[in-house]
């Protein structure tokens, strides 16, 4: 009785993982701009804070503005620090 081919762990993970952007290849980056100066020279990361809040972090290479945005809107640095403290 022949065994059915098994999907490798890598192929299963690749099917369920969200698409990744690139910090070095412009063709693979999502378009983002700094909310302060409008520059497109930004680093953008999706992350989860310690309390589980999903946020998008944007750091501008021109004016050095940093923002964190959650589903409820922009967060202050104090909000981010409060949510990242271990209880």
The CA R_g of the chain, rounded to the nearest whole Å, is: 18
Q: Give the pLDDT of residue 31.
A: 74
User: If we measure between CA atoms, which residue out of 34, 85, 63 comes closest to residue 77?
Assistant: 85
Q: Give the pLDDT of residue 75.
A: 95
pLDDT, tens digit, 9 for 90 and up, residues 35-69: 899 998 998 888 999 999 999 999 999 999 999 99
Give the bridge partners for 80, in sequence order: none
DSSP codes joined into one string, 3-72: PPPPPPHHHHHHHHSPPP--SS-GGGSPP---TTT--S-EEEEEEE-TTS-EEEEEEETTT--EEEEETT
Confidence of residue 1 (pLDDT cuts 50, 70, 90): low
Distance of CA 6 to the CA centre of its chain: 32
Confidence of residue 80 (pLDDT cuts 50, 70, 90): very high
């Amino acid at each position: 009785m022949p065994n059915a081919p098994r999907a490798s762990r890598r192929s299963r993970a690749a099917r369920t993982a969200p698409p990744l952007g690139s910090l070095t290849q412009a063709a693979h980056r999502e378009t983002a701009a700094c909310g302060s100066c409008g520059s497109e020279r930004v680093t953008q990361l999706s992350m989860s804070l310690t309390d589980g809040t999903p946020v998008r972090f944007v750091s501008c290479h021109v004016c050095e503005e940093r923002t964190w945005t959650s589903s409820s809107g922009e967060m202050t640095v104090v909000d981010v620090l409060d949510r990242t403290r271990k209880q």
